[in-house]
Structure 1
Amino acid sequence: MPPADVLADVPADVLIDCQDAALTFGRGPNAVVAVHGARLRIRAGDRLAIVGPSGSGKSTLLHLLAGLEQPTSGTVTWPGPAGRPRDIGLVFQGDSLIPALDVIENTALPLVLAGTPDDRAHEAALAALALVDAADLADRLPEEISGGQAQRVAAARVLAQAPRVILADEPTGRLDHATGGRVLDALLTAADATGAALVVTTHDPAVAARLTVRRAMRDGRLTAPDGADADAAARPGEPS
């Protein structure tokens, strides 16, 4: 559980609270600061694009929000009884499918591990694959599909879980324009249907334009849309 004083001023509708979170890899002269003091709050229904080039810290920030990395300073908390990441789905940028499982097994796996009966998990996985136009890939192994198709399956795996927060790391980066548009459509449709928050990292202005709020990531620093430091734009108790 996070300390009570960390959560005391967090509004009840906040799903992820990131306050002055920084992450440094290594020590001494070889240390690399991947994220500098990011301040951000994610609420149900948010539609946020984090825009920046490769190497700007976008993926690392998503990993902090998902609880896959721990900040070296500052805090990332998930308000609620558990005080830990729950109901968060992360669409990874790189290859994330298990080679020995076919596409539908990969898509259903998180549900099966969570205790969902196999038939219900299979049904949810097939519906999610259909959302990203990948139902025809259901019985193929990862080695039998392209990188772009694997990215669509990775998105379907998250959609099948119906999480409260969807974190998507460059979900259209390996796709052609039309296919990328359909994947983004599916993410938005799923988020709208469940009331989930959607956070998308991208270097594509056209993708960012489809999200309600846009933040830039530059050299590990999260900035507000006008270029001002987002740390100053979202003080505790104020909307991010």
Structure 2
Amino acid sequence: METYPSGQLPMKAWAEDDRPREKMVLKGRHQLTDAELMAILLGSGNRAESAFGLAQRILLSVDNDLNELGKRSLHDLMQFKGIGQAKALTIAAALELGRRRHLTEVRHRPQVRASRDAFQLLSGILEDLPHEEFWVLLLNRANRVIGREQISSGGMAGTVVDSKIVFRKALECKASSLILSHNHPSGQLQPSQADIELTRKLKEGGALLDIGILDHLIVGERNYYSFADEGML
């Protein structure tokens, strides 16, 4: 019988929509934390902790840095109680696939020359969502895309954007500039006062870090609003 420390429950005792597998089915993979995704890979934990608790402990050992985790050998991974060769291989294989995906993206880095280019890269993500999401395109000095990151997800009326997360993503990727983007599920493309203030705040923050904000797109149904094109930057 599994015995968990006080305050911890096995994942099968969690509310159904909080369990990582069920959460992915219901809400999509972007809504899961790194620990929840790893818990799915692990499948089970050990007698003292759930798969989620084990995943948290593994990530904590590398300060939640997936790049650092990718450097760990099978032997390193197997030092964690509950990680045998099979689970270590599963983690290593998943990280290697992520690395190869990144290499593929690097080989096919599109260049953003105008707002339409950015819209084409983002429309497939944002156009048909029933809720607001905020994304950034990360660009190098040649305005080639080196990353595309979701920053936040909210409701019909808006989503909260943490500038610290935006610039952390930029610094991690060594981005020279950013293109901000979010959708308006209503289809109304005009920026709200909150959109304008957020853009100004991020532009000022980027200037301190020498990271340019090239544009902010508001994506609607088959169309978009560009802060740069409208002289709002």
TM-score (norm 1): 0.25
More helix by share: 2
Query: Greater relative contact order: 1 or 2 (C-alpha under 8 angstroms, separation 6 or more)?
Result: 1
TM-score (norm 2): 0.25
